[in-house]
Amino acid sequence: MRSKEKALLVAELAKQKLAEDIIILDMRKVSSITDFFVIASASSTKRCQTIAETIETGLSEKKESVSKIEGYNEGLWVLIDAYDVVAHIFYGDVRRFYNLEGLWGDAPRIKLCHKKKKTRSKKTSRKK
């Protein structure tokens, strides 16, 4: 799997567990650390942990390995190192404090496709 495809998968997996403000930074031209950062926020420490578990499981199902996961027990900043993609899941003000988007402001952002929800028309059935 190509690194950009993996980053998009990680973002989608995070979104499935209600991660918020998801962005992908293309790190290839600004750092040798990794190819992509996926940065997201969560509304609780438990949700941070759930998002991390979902990302790890989803990557494993695609035969992609994770080097390590840091910060899981605390759930304030969970870092998932999948070699060419590193996910950062933040709770609360921790994201603003570390400001990775600002620190790596030169990194281009990858736009995420937001699927529109289909609206169902309500069908009323009458009993006779």
Residue span of the structural domain in which 22 resides: 3-110
**What domain count does the chain have?**
1
78, 72 Cβ separation under 8 angstroms: yes
User: Is 117 within the bounds of a domain?
Assistant: no
User: Is 36 within the bounds of a domain?
Assistant: yes
The CATH number linked to 46 is 3.30.460.10
User: Is 74 within the bounds of a domain?
Assistant: yes
User: Is 91 within the bounds of a domain?
Assistant: yes
Residue 12: is its pLDDT beyond 50?
yes
Query: Among 25, 42, 44, which Cα is nearest to 33's?
Result: 25
User: Is 121 within the bounds of a domain?
Assistant: no
User: Is 25 within the bounds of a domain?
Assistant: yes
d(CA 59, CA 56): 5
User: Is 123 within the bounds of a domain?
Assistant: no
Tell me what pLDDT residue 78 has: 98
User: Is 120 within the bounds of a domain?
Assistant: no
User: pLDDT digit string (tens) for 44-96?
Assistant: 999 999 999 999 999 999 999 999 999 999 999 999 999 999 999 999 899 99
Tell me what pLDDT residue 25 has: 97
User: pLDDT digit string (tens) for 105-124?
Assistant: 999 999 886 555 455 544 54
Residue 128: is its pLDDT beyond 70?
no
Tell me what pLDDT residue 112 has: 81
